[in-house]
């Protein structure tokens, strides 16, 4: 077997008095893909950031390749052969792929001046060994997410990384892109590179990983070969109790004659969306599925008035509407929960209360002054109703875990009492326990006589809540599937991929 | 595999559509605007001597100090910082140079002028880098400090420079047919362009401006970069002040007053992103010369200076608005 690639012993770490890791032992073998799973706040990211040199540890020791090390910066870790593909990317969007890969280690030519062509040649070579096709001269901000990850991996490999840490690498990827990434991971594994794979997606963990470690509340509760475990066992360990079958379809009654909330005919928007027709009735949850770039998010943006609509009509409760901007949509009772909660959903430095009340300020103010008492009570009642875990509503929202942040985003919009809720990837990067709670929130919202349009790359989620699923491809609606027509997740996968 | 990747992603098609639809004209707006303004003035002001080589060299000479400061400002803005103290620093350096030349001769005068700028810039850089105070505030404060110091040490009186060699080298003289100010401009632009495009320092500046966190994680000392861009800016402003002093054969606290706005406008007009990460020295030069071109054309067209200011301001806003990325 040889020496472990990484061996961590008795790792402890606290942040402002809160113990996040408590005596963790973690071992990574060369040439394995090792899943690190657990709920939000379980300590996965913290443990890996210690390994990647982002955080320093309070207690414990660790070895990389048989030598004890102590990292003071990510740079130290890189030098020792540990590379991390960050959840929030560590690339410079305004530079090209090659410039990013060789940042601070650029190829030099005449008189010590930079030789970008040489960097580009080496980058192309790296991509060839990775067996992917990326143009090293492109500026990163012109490229989709999957290329950012490939660039990060190339960057780590260019520094002879023997250990790769990947934190939720598939969160923003469509199915085919995920498959490509997995193929690449398997090839890297054959070269003896050890990979730590952090993910909330159990299927993917079982598809690609050799061993699984579960963290809960800062301790390791399970480590074993993936082949000896079942998904249910792992999920039970993550949640710490038997998870109610949140992801199971629950019958809700939508009357055939229920009032039509939203009706769209022949909508065109942006350079992609063409001839979109859809209907949404009271109490109905409509799923939108499709690959990345199929126009799912663009459709939500157009309905909410962010992207201009070139043609077609939108009727809300039978009344034709001209949506020129988000304010028109909000006035019509439409709310959008955006895809990227950090960039589009929250003001991270502001308190939970201020974030929650932002869209409600108009309603809470009298003569320009905000009724603070009323605002506090409202925020508090939502925190309790949605079981958002926090110390106080005055806490800056960036201190909350991802799942709880997402709950605040949802609360913020449900608080405006919309009748039509558009949700773009509402459970991305959220742990299983919270996922279940969010799914329940969606059901409850629809049951109260409202309509929901939910966009998701996670098909189990669509299967759990959607009455109908529309499949988008290249800006058009390709198919519509009723819940009863879909027997298995496989079928839905095939429909999304456009094969049957 | 490689083919499959390309085919399976919508990117390949998007790339094709993108190539057909566009030529990203916004990126070249300053070149287009430059050409348009130039052609317009060439035609309408033909009789007023716009196209004569004397007039064109005059434009380059008049904009030299702005162009030179714009080169350093390209690095500052490229690193997502700003420096509002450049005009005041130039004024202060013109004064310290002139006073030193009076008492101790030219060589020491040149050294003191450069040091003045370097000290001001280093203080700016140190405050921003070490204490994470926004450069906007630090340099706004420094604007007052430098301006006030220049007034104080001179009792607001002009400081004449009688040293012919200095005056000729720094702004009044010519090198063959070419004014020395134009030579200074070219030297600054060439150095700036090569450093930005071809050295690891330039790359680190752009990385810091594009995503400071990522740059730090990649091993870039972003604080050092921040310090260096501001220190170099100060030094360059000092040199610009010395050129003012040479051209006008005196040091005075008013030299350079208000230049910060022209310099920043030239850089943004040239296509450098106000948010950092994307920068072009050649663009900054064109931006600066274009502002000079407009000034010159408006004077030849017989507009009053009040009207010139209005037209100039409007043209800058329109050009920047057009150049802005979506």
DSSP of B116-168, one letter per residue? HHHHHHHHHHHHHHHH---HHHHHHHHHHHHHHHHHHHHTT--EE---HHHHI
Quote the pLDDT of residue B107. Answer: 95
**Higher per-residue pLDDT: B296 or A171:** B296
Angstrom distance (rounded) from CA B77 to CA B72? 9
Q: Rounded to a whole number, what is the distance in Å from the CA of B34 to chain A's nearest CA?
A: 25
* Residue among A76, A93, A104 with most chain B CBs within 10 A, to mutate: A104
pLDDT tens column, A363-411: 777 777 777 888 888 888 888 887 888 888 888 888 887 788 888 888 8
CB contact under 8 Å between B217 and A92, yes or no, is no
Q: Does B17 touch chain A (CB under 8 A)?
A: yes
pLDDT of residue B19: 47
Instruction: Find the length of chain A.
Output: 500
- % of chain A surpassing 70 pLDDT: 94
User: Does B199 sit within 8 Å of A113, measured CB to CB?
Assistant: yes
Q: How far apart are the first and last CA of chain A?
A: 44
What was the pLDDT predicted at B24?
A: 58
Indicate the Cα dihedral angle B201, B206, B212, B218, nearest 10°. Answer: -50
Phi, psi (deg, nearest 5) at residue A23: 60, 55
In angstroms, what separates the C-alpha of A75 from chain B's closest C-alpha?
5
Question: Which residues 6+ apart lie within 8 Å of A383 measured at CB?
Answer: A352, A390, A393, A411
Q: What is the pLDDT of residue A499?
A: 57
pLDDT at B9: 47
Residue B173, φ and ψ in degrees, nearest 5: -90, -175
- Cα–Cα nearest to A42, from A198, A201, A163, A187: A198
Do the Cβ atoms of A462 and A205 come closer than 8 Å? no
Average pLDDT in the A259-281 region? 90
A348 touches chain B (CB under 8 A): no
**Any B CB within 8 A of A177 CB:** yes
pLDDT at res. B164: 92
The answer on pLDDT for B14 being more than 60 is no
Could you give the percent of chain B with pLDDT greater than 70? 90
> CB distance A133–B277 less than 8 Å?
no
Contact between chains at A113 and B214 (C-beta distance less than 8 A): no
Query: Which long-range contacts (C-beta less than 8 Å, at least 24 apart) are formed by B138-142?
Result: B139/B82, B139/B83, B139/B84, B139/B85, B139/B230, B140/B84, B140/B85, B142/B84, B142/B85, B142/B88, B142/B89
Render pLDDT for A280-336 as a digit per residue (tens, 0 to 9): 999 999 999 887 678 888 999 999 988 889 899 999 998 998 988 888 898 899 999
Reference A329, options A312, A350, A306; nearest CA is A306
**Could you tell me which of A293, A497, A171, A476 has the C-alpha nearest to residue B11?**
A293
Strand partners, A212: A35, A224
Closest-CA residue of chain A to B219: A75
- CA-to-CA distance for B78 and A368, rounded, in angstroms? 41
Pure H helices in A318-450: 326-331, 352-357, 361-364, 372-385, 402-414, 432-447
B6–A93 C-beta distance less than 8 A: no
Residue B59 has pLDDT above 70, yes or no: yes
- Interchain proximity A132–B197, CB inside 8 Å: no
Q: Which of A90, A144, A183 sits opposite B11 (nearest CB)?
A: A144
Cross-chain CB nearest to A94 (options B11, B206, B220): B206
For residue B203, the chain A residue with the least C-alpha distance is A103
Residues forming beta bridges with residue A455, ordered by sequence position: A288, A424
Average pLDDT (A479-492) is 80
Instruction: Indicate whether A500 pLDDT > 50.
Output: no
Q: Which chain B residues are Cβ-neighbours of A473 within 8 angstroms?
A: none
Best CA proximity match to A285, nearest among A454, A426, A449: A454
- A497 against A149, higher pLDDT: A149
Q: Say which residue, B301 or A39, is predicted with more confidence.
A: B301
Residue A449 CA to residue A258 CA, distance in Å, equals 9
Higher local confidence (pLDDT), A342 or A70: A70
pLDDT at B119 over 80: yes
Which residues of chain B have a CB within 8 Å of the CB of A75? 218-219
Chain B CB contacts of A272 under 8 Å are none
Length of chain B, in residues:
326
Return the pLDDT at A174: 74
Q: B325 pLDDT band (50/70/90 cuts)?
A: low
Q: What is the pLDDT of residue A246?
A: 59
pLDDT of B18 above 70: no
Residue A240 in 3-state DSSP? Answer: coil
Are the Cβ atoms of B200 and A176 closer than 8 angstroms? no
Distance CA A249, CA A137 (A): 47
How are strands ordered across the β-sheet holding A67-69?
Answer: A18-28, A6-15, A59-64, A67-69
Residues in chain B with CB shorter than 8 Å from the CB of A112 are 199
- Rounded to whole angstroms, what are the CA distances from A353 to A391, A437, B152? 12, 21, 51
Yes or no: say if B182 and B67 are a contact pair by the CB < 8 Å rule.
Answer: no
pLDDT score of A76: 86
pLDDT single digits (tens) A439-473: 888 998 999 999 999 998 777 788 888 999 999 98
Residue-wise pLDDT for B180-233, tens only, equals: 999 999 999 999 999 999 898 999 999 999 888 888 877 788 999 999 999 999
Buried b (16+ CB within 10 A) or exposed e, A86-96: bbebbbbbbbb
Residue A274 has pLDDT above 70, yes or no: yes
Evaluate whether A399 touches A17 at the Cβ level (below 8 Å).
Answer: no
Residue B143 CA from chain centroid, whole number = 16
Phi, psi at B253, each rounded to 5°: -65, -20
Task: Give the pLDDT score at A255.
Answer: 67
Instruction: Looking at the complex, report in whole angstroms how far the Cα of residue A59 sits from the nearest Cα belonging to chain B.
Output: 24
pLDDT at site B274: 85
Contact (CB, 8 A) for A278 and A477: yes
pLDDT digits (tens, 9 = 90+) for A75-122: 888 888 998 887 555 789 889 999 999 988 888 888 888 999 999 999
Considering the entire predicted model, what is its pTM? 0.72
Question: Which of chain B's residues have a Cβ under 8 Å away from the Cβ of A293?
Answer: 9-10, 14
B276 contact residues in A (CB cutoff 8 A): 94
Q: Which of residues 61-120 of B touch A (CB under 8 A)?
A: none
In the structure, what pLDDT confidence band is assigned to residue B315 with cuts at 50, 70 and 90?
A: confident
């Amino acid at each position: 077997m040889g020496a472990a690639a990484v061996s961590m012993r008795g790792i402890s770490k606290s942040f402002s008095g809160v113990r996040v890791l408590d005596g963790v032992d973690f071992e990574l073998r060369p040439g394995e893909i090792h899943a690190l799973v657990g709920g939000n706040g379980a300590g996965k990211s913290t443990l890996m950031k210690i390994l990647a040199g982002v955080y320093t540890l309070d207690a414990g020791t660790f070895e990389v390749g048989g030598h004890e090390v102590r990292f003071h910066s990510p740079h130290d870790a890189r030098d020792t052969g540990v590379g991390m593909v960050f959840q929030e990317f560590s690339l410079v969007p305004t530079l090209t792929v090659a410039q990013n890969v060789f940042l601070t280690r650029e190829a030099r030519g005449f008189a010590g001046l930079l030789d970008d062509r040489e960097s580009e040649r080496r980058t192309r070579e790296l991509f060839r060994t990775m067996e992917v096709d990326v143009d090293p001269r492109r500026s990163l901000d012109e490229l989709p997410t999957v290329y950012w990850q490939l660039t990060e991996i190339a960057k780590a490999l260019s520094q002879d990384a023997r250990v790769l840490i990947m934190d939720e690498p598939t969160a923003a990827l469509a199915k085919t892109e995920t498959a490509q990434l997995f193929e690449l991971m398997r090839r890297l594994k054959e070269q003896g590179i050890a990979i730590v794979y952090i993910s909330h997606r159990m299927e993917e963990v079982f598809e690609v990983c050799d061993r699984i470690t579960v963290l809960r509340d800062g301790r390791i509760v399970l480590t074993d070969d993936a082949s000896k475990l079942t998904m249910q066992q792992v999920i039970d360990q993550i949640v710490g109790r038997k998870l109610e079958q949140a992801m199971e379809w629950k019958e809700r009654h939508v009357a055939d004659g229920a009032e039509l909330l939203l009706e769209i005919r022949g909508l065109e928007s942006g350079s992609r969306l063409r001839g979109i027709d859809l209907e949404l009735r009271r109490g109905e949850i409509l799923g939108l599925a499709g690959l990345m770039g199929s126009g799912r998010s663009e459709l939500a943006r157009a309905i909410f008035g962010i992207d201009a609509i070139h043609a077609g009509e939108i009727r809300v409760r039978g009344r034709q509407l001209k949506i020129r901007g988000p304010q028109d949509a909000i006035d019509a009772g439409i709310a959008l929960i955006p895809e990227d909660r950090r960039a589009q959903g929250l003001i991270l430095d502001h308190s939970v209360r201020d974030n929650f009340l932002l869209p409600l300020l108009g309603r809470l103010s009298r003569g320009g002054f905000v009724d603070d008492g009323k605002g506090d009570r409202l925020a508090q009642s939502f925190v309790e109703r949605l079981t958002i875990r926090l110390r106080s509503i005055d806490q800056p929202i960036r201190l909350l875990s991802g799942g709880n942040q997402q709950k605040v985003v949802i609360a913020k919009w449900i608080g405006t009492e919309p009748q039509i809720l558009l949700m773009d990837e509402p459970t991305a990067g959220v742990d299983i326990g919270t996922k279940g709670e969010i799914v329940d929130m969606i059901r409850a919202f629809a049951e109260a006589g409202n309509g929901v349009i939910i966009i998701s790359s996670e098909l189990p989620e669509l299967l759990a809540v959607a009455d109908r699923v529309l499949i988008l491809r290249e800006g058009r609606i390709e198919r519509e599937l009723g819940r009863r027509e879909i027997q298995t997740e496989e079928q839905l996968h095939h429909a999304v991929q456009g094969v049957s | 595999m490689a083919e499959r990747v390309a085919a399976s992603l919508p990117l390949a098609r998007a790339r094709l559509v993108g190539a057909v639809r566009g030529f990203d004209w916004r990126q070249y707006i300053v070149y287009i605007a430059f050409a348009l303004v130039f052609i317009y003035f060439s035609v309408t002001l033909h009789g007023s001597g716009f196209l004569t080589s004397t007039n064109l060299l005059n434009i380059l000479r008049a904009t030299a100090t702005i162009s030179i400061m714009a080169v350093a400002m390209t690095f500052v803005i490229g690193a997502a910082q700003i420096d509002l103290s450049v005009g005041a620093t130039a004024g202060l350096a013109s004064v310290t140079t002139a006073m030193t030349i009076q008492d101790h001769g030219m060589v020491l005068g040149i050294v003191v002028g450069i040091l003045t700028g370097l000290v001001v810039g280093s203080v700016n850089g140190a405050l921003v880098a070490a204490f994470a105070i926004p450069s906007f505030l630090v340099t706004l404060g420094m604007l007052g400090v430098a301006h006030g110091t220049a007034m104080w040490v001179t009792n607001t009186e002009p400081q004449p420079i009688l040293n012919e060699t200095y005056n000729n080298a720094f702004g009044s003289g010519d090198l063959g047919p070419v004014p020395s100010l134009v030579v200074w401009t070219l030297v600054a632009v060439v150095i700036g362009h090569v450093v930005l495009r071809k050295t690891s320092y330039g790359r680190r500046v752009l990385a810091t401006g594009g995503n400071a966190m990522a740059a730090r994680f990649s091993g870039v000392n972003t604080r050092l970069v921040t310090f260096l861009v501001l220190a170099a800016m100060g030094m360059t402003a000092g040199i610009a002040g010395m050129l003012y002093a040479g051209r006008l054969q005196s040091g005075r606290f008013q030299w350079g007053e208000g230049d910060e706005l022209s310099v920043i406008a030239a850089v943004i007009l040239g296509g450098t992103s106000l948010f950092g990460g994307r920068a072009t020295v050649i663009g900054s030069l064109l931006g600066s010369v274009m502002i000079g071109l407009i000034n010159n054309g408006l004077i030849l067209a017989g507009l009053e200076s009040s009207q010139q200011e209005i037209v100039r301001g409007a043209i800058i806003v329109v050009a920047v608005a057009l150049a802005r990325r979506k």
